[in-house]
């Protein structure tokens, strides 16, 4: 079985400040890792994903996440947040091979303060 833990349910941060949203997972086998973002009153959309290769992955809007196998973490970071980054962020994990369910974390609400 796999699980995902997002320790922070809410993270307030001032505009232009850096932010880190934490995600830890557990799995006995290889996994793929995803970050999804949900803007108010919308569905989730993919922000970035780690499949293999370089442990640092980036999104088009300045977010990055680093896969750390030894610490079983996939934290999301941005060096300078904007008001438009206000949203809820979900970490997700999926085992490789055939159909495998996706396990989502409980989400972290990022509130960017002007």
Minimum separation from the CB atom of position 18 to other proteins (A):
25
Contact by Cβ (8 Å): 109, 10: yes
Candidates 16-24, 45-53, 62-70, 72-80: pick the segment binding other proteins (CB under 8 A): 45-53
From residue 39, how far is each of 8, 18, 47, 93 by CA, in Å? 18, 19, 12, 20
Dist CA 8 CA 67 (whole Å): 18
Q: Does 49 bind other proteins (CB under 8 A)?
A: yes
Contact by Cβ (8 Å): 12, 111: yes
> Backbone phi, then psi, for 84, in 5-degree steps?
-70, -10
DSSP 72: T
The residue within the footprint of other proteins, chosen from 21, 23, 44, 57 (CB under 8 A), is 44
Q: Does 105 bind other proteins (CB under 8 A)?
A: yes
The residue within the footprint of other proteins, chosen from 1, 28, 40, 43 (CB under 8 A), is 43
Minimum separation from the CB atom of position 16 to other proteins (A):
29
Q: Which residues bind other proteins (CB under 8 A)?
A: 9, 32, 34, 36, 41-46, 49, 51, 90, 94-102, 104-107
């Amino acid at each position: 079985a796999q699980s995902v833990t997002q320790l922070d349910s809410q993270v307030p941060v001032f505009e232009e400040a850096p932010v880190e949203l934490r995600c830890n997972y557990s799995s006995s086998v290889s996994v793929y890792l995803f970050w999804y973002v949900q803007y108010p009153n919308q569905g989730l959309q993919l922000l970035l994903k780690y499949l293999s290769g370089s442990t640092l992955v980036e999104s088009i809007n300045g977010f990055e996440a680093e896969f750390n196998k030894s610490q079983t973490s996939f934290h999301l970071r941005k060096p300078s947040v904007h008001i438009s980054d206000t949203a809820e962020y979900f970490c997700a994990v999926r085992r490789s091979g055939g159909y495998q369910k996706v396990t989502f974390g409980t989400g972290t609400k990022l509130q960017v303060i002007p």
